[in-house]
């Protein structure tokens, strides 16, 4: 039986833990809001970009670009998006598990990894799969410089022929309670098609081909940016849920411990009273 | 008067009605007024200038992008762009120095192109400041 003093100490410890988890929950909520805003704010750009691509594809019969090149797949690259920090429930475990499943599939011997996030690195460094590059230090924030770097790096891998197929593995944010780990193709890109056809007779300057060439890297950038934004929103969302749960658990624990404490205190008082009474009884006897 | 929106991958930089617009098109500067024909063009490093409905002139430095014009709605997609008062002159000068040093050092074509591009960007910012401030 722990003494009331021990219990009080434990209560204090649990209370301070719950304060931390509560603060972390609030930070995660704020970051999540920011991440969602970011998705909203970058939407006009990517939508417009898509529209321009569609217009060019339908205006000029054949659009050719290195990014569209389908070739025999000798080397595959898998970009795995994890977080830098933990305390976000099963967020990283789910991605890593999915990645390992993909890596163990038959015919997956030619996969090389590009890792985004420290947690992914921590896991895969101890495994035998080849790692090409690691990006970390995002700290749960969107950083366009890193996105540019990553995009340039991947494009270079593909265009130089070091990789023939590049895929991304990341968590999609569906709602506060629903997250889905999924694979998406990055390169080669499927040319955006439209059934709307050319809606207007555009003047192209300098010419469709050149615009297209300039447009593709920017389009690739938005694909990576969107994937990262989705992953970040999911990270903060899962962290928020994990921290709410932790806070609730801590509160329940405080309740049970308080009950225990009161019982122990009462027990001690009863015991003391009994001792006093029986002592005085003995004296009188 | 027509609607202009300037967006970067991060956010919307400007969205309002304007009277006129000048952009650094892929084949040279383009002037755009109301009822311009539908147009899609690349943008080079340079200055974006437009006159808002109060006839006030607003200047921006851009590092390139795209423009799409249709039905009196103009969308500019920029890689990056800054308003005149957002430009940091000393930082731009630092960048110019760094780019020039890099140009002397680099051997590969890719790095060379990149250094030239960043030199262009820095020069563009400095020119804009000197011109209008």
Q: Which of A4-13, A59-68, B29-38 has the lowest mean pLDDT?
A: A59-68
Work out the average pLDDT over A23-31: 94
d(CA A91, CA A95): 7
Task: Output the pLDDT for position A160.
Answer: 92
A274 located within any domain: no
Q: Report ipTM for this prediction.
A: 0.84
Is the C-alpha dihedral spanning B58, B50, B44, B63 positive or negative? positive
pLDDT band at A284 (very low <50, low <70, confident <90, very high): confident
The domain spanning residue A141 has which CATH number? 3.40.1380.10
Averaged over successive runs of 10 residues, the pLDDT of chain B (133 residues) comes to 92 93 93 93 94 92 93 93 90 89 76 83 90 81
Q: How confident is the model over A169-211, as pLDDT tens digits?
A: 999 988 888 899 999 999 898 776 665 555 678 888 888 888 8
Output A256 or A4, whichever has higher pLDDT: A256
Interface of B with A (CB under 8 A): 5, 7-12, 25-27, 30, 37-42, 64-66, 68, 70, 75, 77, 79
* Interface size, chain A vs chain B, as Cβ–Cβ contacts under 8 Å: 81
Q: pLDDT at residue A59 above 80? A: no
Q: Which of A11-20, A189-198, A275-284, B77-86 has the lowest mean pLDDT?
A: A189-198
Quickly count: other Cβ atoms within 10 Å of residue B94's Cβ: 12
pLDDT band at A212 (very low <50, low <70, confident <90, very high): confident
Catalytic one among A35, A53, A56, A88?
Answer: A88
Q: Which residues pair with A116 in a beta bridge?
A: A81, A135
- Interchain proximity B65–A38, CB inside 8 Å: no
- Chain A residues touching B5 at Cβ < 8 A: 44
Work out the average pLDDT over A9-29: 95
Task: Output the pLDDT for position B110.
Answer: 67
- Chain A residues touching B41 at Cβ < 8 A: 203-206, 211
Structurally, chain A folds into a number of domains equal to: 1
A282 located within any domain: no
A19 located within any domain: no
Closest residue to A48, CB basis, from B30, B37, B75: B75
- Chain B residues touching A52 at Cβ < 8 A: 40, 66, 68, 77
Q: How confident is the model over A75-126, as pLDDT tens digits?
A: 999 999 999 998 998 999 999 999 999 999 988 889 999 999 999 999 999 9
Domain span holding position A125:
27-241
DSSP H helices in chain A:
4-59, 91-104, 118-124, 144-159, 208-284
- Chain B residues touching A210 at Cβ < 8 A: 26, 42
Among this protein's residues, is A88 annotated catalytic? yes
Work out the average pLDDT over A159-170: 94
A130: left (phi over 0), alpha (psi -120 to 50) or beta: beta
Task: Kindly report the average pLDDT of chain A as a whole number.
Answer: 89
CA distances, A280 to each of A245, A273, A284 (Å): 52, 11, 6
A256 located within any domain: no
A281 located within any domain: no
Q: State how far residue A151 is from chain B, nearest Cα, in angstroms.
A: 14
Task: Output the pLDDT for position A195.
Answer: 59
A71 located within any domain: yes
Work out the average pLDDT over A248-263: 95
Structural domains in chain B plus CATH codes: 2-84 (2.60.15.10), 87-132 (1.20.5)
């Amino acid at each position: 039986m722990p003494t009331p003093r021990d219990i009080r100490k434990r209560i204090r410890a649990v209370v301070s833990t719950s304060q931390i988890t509560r603060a972390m929950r609030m930070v995660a909520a704020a970051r999540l809001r920011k991440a969602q805003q970011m998705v909203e704010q970058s939407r006009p750009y990517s939508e417009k970009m898509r529209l321009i691509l569609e217009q060019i594809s339908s205006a000029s019969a054949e659009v050719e670009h290195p990014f569209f090149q389908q070739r025999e797949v000798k080397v595959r690259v898998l970009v795995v998006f994890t977080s830098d920090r933990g305390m976000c429930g099963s967020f990283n475990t789910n991605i890593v598990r999915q990645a390992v499943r993909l890596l163990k599939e038959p015919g997956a011997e030619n996969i090389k990894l590009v890792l985004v996030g420290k947690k992914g690195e921590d896991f895969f460094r101890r495994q035998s799969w080849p790692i090409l590059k690691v990006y970390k230090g995002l700290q749960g924030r969107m950083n366009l410089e890193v996105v540019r770097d990553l995009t340039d790096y991947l494009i270079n891998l593909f265009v130089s022929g070091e990789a023939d197929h590049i895929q991304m593995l990341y968590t999609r944010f569906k709602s506060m309670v629903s997250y889905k780990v999924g694979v998406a193709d990055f390169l080669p890109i499927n040319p955006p098609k439209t059934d709307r056809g050319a809606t207007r007779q555009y003047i192209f300057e300098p010419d469709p081909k050149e615009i297209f060439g300039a447009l593709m890297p920017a389009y690739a950038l938005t694909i990576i940016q969107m994937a990262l934004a989705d992953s970040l929103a999911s990270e903060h969302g899962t962290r928020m849920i994990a921290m709410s749960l932790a806070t609730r658990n801590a509160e329940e624990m405080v309740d049970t411990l308080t009950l225990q404490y009161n019982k122990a205190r009462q027990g001690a008082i009863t015991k003391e009273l009994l001792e006093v009474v029986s002592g005085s009884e003995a004296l009188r006897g | 008067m027509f609607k202009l929106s300037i967006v970067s991958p991060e956010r919307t930089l400007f969205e309002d009605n304007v009277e006129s617009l000048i952009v650094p098109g892929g084949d040279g500067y383009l002037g755009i007024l109301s009822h311009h024909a539908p147009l899609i063009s690349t943008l080079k490093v340079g200055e974006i200038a437009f006159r808002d409905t109060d006839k006030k002139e607003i200047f921006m430095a851009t590092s390139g992008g795209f423009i799409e014009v249709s039905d009196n709605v103009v969308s500019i997609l920029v890689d990056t762009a800054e308003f005149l008062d957002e430009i940091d002159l000393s930082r731009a000068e630092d960048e110019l120095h760094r780019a020039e040093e890099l140009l002397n050092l680099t051997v590969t074509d890719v790095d060379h192109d990149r250094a030239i591009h960043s030199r262009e960007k820095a020069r563009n910012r400095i020119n804009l400041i000197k011109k209008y401030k």
